Amino acid sequence: MKVKVKYKLSTIVILIFGVIGFSFLASFFLKAMLSHRYLQILDLTFFLLGSSLAICSLYYLLKNELLIVENKKLIIISFFGLQRKEFFLTELISYTAIEKANKYINWEDLDLYFKSGKVRITSSNFKVTDYYNIKSLITRGTKANQKEVSKWSNRIQSQYGIAFIIIGIIFSLLFINQNNRGIKIIDGVSSIQFTGTLKQKTNIVSNRHNKKSIVLSLSEYPYFTFKLDGPEFKALDKDEFLKKVNNGDKITIKIWKDQYDKKISESSSLTFADKHFNYHRIEILGIAKDSEDFMPQDLVNYYREKFHTKFNFYTLMVIAMLITGFGIYLVLKALEIVG
């Protein structure tokens, strides 16, 4: 009896859209990378991610496997017939059939362990009836490999643990950096003012968490955008600012002096982090036009002190430590060091 199974049409369509979509994503971030004065790590990360996923989608699209069971052999034909592999069913040692899921689909990975090598068949690539039919023909009379199932479970658990550890460490570093900047007092020593021409009309924007901010662009400094958010945003007299400040107006902006020295006047050297993490973005500490101050310094310091409290910092650090600790527990459990 001969049984033939090929990729279903929906799988091919998804792979085509994957190639197009991820290629577009990669090109978008490539353009963003080339538009900045210095390479931005975030742009590079998304470019590499998009490129990798586009290449993977193209690989599996070209692979387009055809499975044939005939004369007690599993024959796999891929890359439009350019690659052909044959495995004798009598040489099948064991197999695993592990159910997996993500947000969108459920599927089963069938791993076949032959004397001559390993083969993986993914159920979502084929019609359901075709997959279970060929699975039954191949695995009939062969025992499932529970040891490999345990290995897979431990490996996934370990990967989740490492991910939690990395996230916890990143959060810790971000919280420490945020606290160090948050406890700084804005005064004539730590900050500096300069004047520029507003490039476009300003608006208050909200993100998906309803956090409001304002982003300004100045004609004299095309490399940078100046952002006002967080506790500093609360100190802004929003109604007066939006009513009296328009496109083309001369405004005075207050920023941290170290940012001014590194990015505006370029009198100090940039660190690696300055160059490659948000180089184009500068935090606003104050805005004024002519003699009107829309963000009195005392009010800005009040909101900053109210937001950056020791309680908030230690609470966030405890959360970061719990995430890291949970990750360590998962890794140790996967290694069977803890129960």
Instruction: Confirm whether 307 is domain-assigned.
Output: no
pTM for the full predicted model = 0.76
Instruction: Provide the β-strand partners of residue 198.
Output: 218
Question: What pLDDT, on the 0 to 100 scale, is given for residue 184?
Answer: 87
Q: How far is CA 338 from CA 150, 162, 165, 324, in A?
A: 16, 16, 17, 16
Residues 138 and 245 in one domain: no
Q: Are 253 and 226 in contact (CB under 8 A)?
A: yes
Question: What pLDDT, on the 0 to 100 scale, is given for residue 32?
Answer: 86
Say yes or no to pLDDT of 67 above 90.
Answer: yes
Please give the Cα distance from 97 to 108 (Å, whole number). 6
Instruction: Confirm whether 165 is domain-assigned.
Output: no
Q: Are 67 and 76 in contact (CB under 8 A)?
A: yes
Instruction: Confirm whether 103 is domain-assigned.
Output: yes
Share of the chain above pLDDT 70, in %: 99
Lowest mean pLDDT among 29-38, 129-138, 168-177: 29-38
Question: What pLDDT, on the 0 to 100 scale, is given for residue 338?
Answer: 58
- Judging by DSSP bridges, how do beta strands 225-228 and 212-216 pair with one another? antiparallel
Question: What pLDDT, on the 0 to 100 scale, is given for residue 273?
Answer: 85
Please give the Cα distance from 310 to 125 (Å, whole number). 53
pLDDT in tens, 121-152: 999 999 999 999 999 999 999 999 999 999 99
Instruction: Confirm whether 180 is domain-assigned.
Output: no
Domain's final residue, options 128, 150, 172: 150
Per-residue confidence band for 208, with pLDDT thresholds at 50, 70 and 90: confident
Please give the Cα distance from 277 to 271 (Å, whole number). 10
Question: What pLDDT, on the 0 to 100 scale, is given for residue 81?
Answer: 83
Q: Give φ, ψ of 30 to 5 degrees.
A: -65, -45
Instruction: Confirm whether 87 is domain-assigned.
Output: yes
Please give the Cα distance from 90 to 92 (Å, whole number). 6
Instruction: Confirm whether 336 is domain-assigned.
Output: no
Instruction: Confirm whether 317 is domain-assigned.
Output: no
Question: What pLDDT, on the 0 to 100 scale, is given for residue 103?
Answer: 82
Q: Are 111 and 138 in contact (CB under 8 A)?
A: no
The secondary structure of 204-269 as a DSSP string is: -EE-TT--EEEEE-BTT-TT-EEEE-HHHHHTS-HHHHHHH--TT-EEEEEEEHHHIIIIIS--SP
Say yes or no to pLDDT of 73 above 90.
Answer: yes
Per-residue confidence band for 277, with pLDDT thresholds at 50, 70 and 90: confident
Say yes or no to pLDDT of 48 above 90.
Answer: yes
Question: What pLDDT, on the 0 to 100 scale, is given for residue 265?
Answer: 92
Please give the Cα distance from 337 to 324 (Å, whole number). 17
Residue written as tokens 């004539």?
A: 188
Q: How far is CA 175 from CA 167, 267, 271, 312, 313, in A?
A: 12, 29, 20, 10, 7
Q: Are 330 and 161 in contact (CB under 8 A)?
A: yes
Task: Domain count for the chain, please give it.
Answer: 2
Average pLDDT over residues 58-77: 92
Residues 141 and 210 in one domain: no
Average pLDDT over residues 285-296: 93
Average pLDDT of the chain? 91
Say yes or no to pLDDT of 18 above 80.
Answer: yes
Instruction: Confirm whether 261 is domain-assigned.
Output: yes
> Can you list the alpha helix ranges (DSSP code H) found in the chain?
9-35, 41-63, 128-139, 146-182, 230-234, 238-244, 257-259, 272-276, 297-307, 310-334
Taking the alpha carbons of 135, 136, 142, 147 in that order, is the dihedral positive or negative?
A: positive
Q: Give φ, ψ of 267 to 5 degrees.
A: -90, -10
Residues 116 and 201 in one domain: no
Average pLDDT over residues 31-60: 91
Please give the Cα distance from 60 to 125 (Å, whole number). 10
Say yes or no to pLDDT of 339 above 60.
Answer: no
Residues 113 and 41 in one domain: yes
Please give the Cα distance from 231 to 254 (Å, whole number). 15
**CATH code (residue 262):** 2.40.50.140
Please give the Cα distance from 285 to 11 (Å, whole number). 52
Say yes or no to pLDDT of 47 above 90.
Answer: yes
Q: Are 118 and 111 in contact (CB under 8 A)?
A: yes
Say yes or no to pLDDT of 260 above 70.
Answer: yes
Question: What pLDDT, on the 0 to 100 scale, is given for residue 109?
Answer: 94
Say yes or no to pLDDT of 209 above 80.
Answer: no
Residues 111 and 207 in one domain: no
Range of the structural domain that residue 95 is part of? 3-150
Secondary structure element (H or E) that encloses residue 84, with its range: strand 83-88
